[in-house]
Structure 1
């Protein structure tokens, strides 16, 4: 895999400029050392809007888009990922495929096999890995013992071609796999369908070989958005809000000191400020912009991306196991 000339821009395109793909187009058009070439889009009105806004070309076929680009974002419904990715890889494009990598493991294997055959990068769009919160966790989390995650969102028809596990929970699955760094030992899952044909609310307990346990809850039937995670380890615990890019830590030493003061009555148990919380300094940023900047830099340098196909496939495998457990329980 050859690097792109240091003086050349990475030529980028987007396949699918709907509610999310339009932001890929916006960011590519603004990134330094990137030439935003054009799009493939089946909706005439949306295609005309994006081309006028960013002065780019609408291509009639995926093959034509691929021939004109070094790298392309695949931002179409999950069940179309393989169909869109394969011709782009055959045309010689590096790909950023929005999460999940595909709708099935068989599809994912074919896409990754094609990437190997054509010596192309596949980065999977697990966007939370580029949230500044995750950057802090990757540095500070060491041998986590217990992780809880809650991800809630209001209902929207977009994304219902898959269940809530593949739609939302897979974000937290990817984060947990990255933090724990241990094979999965056991998964126990429950879920219910309310307004779609697939699960709309789900909970999964994932036990790892190293003893860590993760409890993940997700819903697309909430009145508000929530993206929170807590990580417990011997040194204390971290509590983070991925949406607000904020958080705090509580050290074990501080908790022990607080408990001692409670026993001796030297602290008011009703005083929330007495709990030894330490704010975590986080430099906020737009995760998608950070993700696409990393992708284009990886393409230019011919280096493997932070969230490559292997992690994308592993997250998909766990998500499918959870989904299958939920559906098997419904049929029992």
Structure 2
């Protein structure tokens, strides 16, 4: 993952990519050779040399890798999830807050062009359904599928609805591994919105879909195929209904009309957009798009779901 970050950073005219570090020296040297940069021998060597860093290390190392930078007011882009546990996450967020350091968490789906286009159309959702399914890769199964995959959709839900859930129900099991491989959770929010989310890493077909049902209509996002469908409930004399084509308009018995809206999705690089947003945050143009607090909230919900699933398995 760090190599991908390096490629995006070096392509930015606003970045002077000076070096990298990896505990596996051969990997660091490979990046240095490809991107013509310096190999640092330790994290502390960066202090005084850089204004910002991207950290793409195993989650269990997030705290020890991020604190030296945050405590020296160096901006940090930290891969998701923010930490393996809430105590570590709280320490990371507090270090950023105390030292007034920029901290952005790498929930890259926030920068998916499908989600960004749909986000503008979401208004007071009533029901949300997500499916994030992947085939078994044979790696990364030291953590539950919740922190591996589901946390993407947890973050999107919290962003869409604007609050943490007031109640959570969940069930999940390990099938191939000793950790949770497939999980389903039902989240109820203070607004009354209910979200049903499913994540699996043992599916035959891969899927990254999010559907939003609201008073004004229905929005379907396919993050994998970059497709967005929007169906809007409107009056027959509205400009939207009048301009709808024959196959984009559906008349309801009560006189109202459902209009299918065609939305063009630009071909963009989510990781590059994430990097660019981080750069702008470092330059003071805007706050981090995914703050440390947002990363903490997503992890808090994820750990709640994980604990419920552990209790569920005890009864099997």
Same fold (TM over 0.5): yes
Aligned length: 300
Partner of 1:177: 158
Q: Deviations for 1:179-237, whole angstroms, at most 9, x for unmatched residues? A: 11234111000111122231011111100011001111111112332111110001110
Query: Does 252-261 or 42-51 show the bigger shift?
Result: 252-261
**Cα RMSD between the aligned structures?**
1.9
Partner of 2:245: none
Q: CA deviation at 1:79?
A: 1.1
TM-score by length of 1: 0.86
For the pair 1:48 / 2:29, whether they are aligned, the reply is yes
Which of residues 263, 269, 275 is equivalent to 1:292?
A: 275
Question: 1:66, 1:243 → 2: CA distance?
Answer: 39
Q: Deviations for 1:76-118, whole angstroms, at most 9, x for unmatched residues? A: 1111111111122233321111111001110011111111222
SS in 1 for 2:130: strand
Q: CA deviation at 1:48?
A: 1.7
For the pair 1:304 / 2:287, whether they are aligned, the reply is yes
Partner of 2:298: 315
2:249–2:260 CA contact under 8 A, matched in 1: no
Q: Cα 1:153–1:85, aligned 2, differ >3 Å: closer, same or farther?
A: same
Question: 2:139, 2:53 → 1: CA distance?
Answer: 22
Q: How does 1:1-332 map to 2 (within 5 A)?
A: 20-253=1-234, 257-260=250-253, 277-301=260-284, 303-332=286-315
Partner of 1:266: none
Q: CA deviation at 1:57?
A: 1.1
For structure 1, the 5+ residue unaligned runs are 1-19, 262-274
Q: CA deviation at 1:259?
A: 4.5
Partner of 2:237: none
1:66–1:72 CA contact under 8 A, matched in 2: no
SS in 1 for 2:294: helix
Q: CA deviation at 1:325?
A: 0.3
1:150–1:226 CA contact under 8 A, matched in 2: yes
TM-score by length of 2: 0.90
Query: Does 203-212 or 132-141 show the bigger shift?
Result: 132-141
1:77–1:159 CA contact under 8 A, matched in 2: no
Query: Does 248-257 or 147-156 show the bigger shift?
Result: 248-257
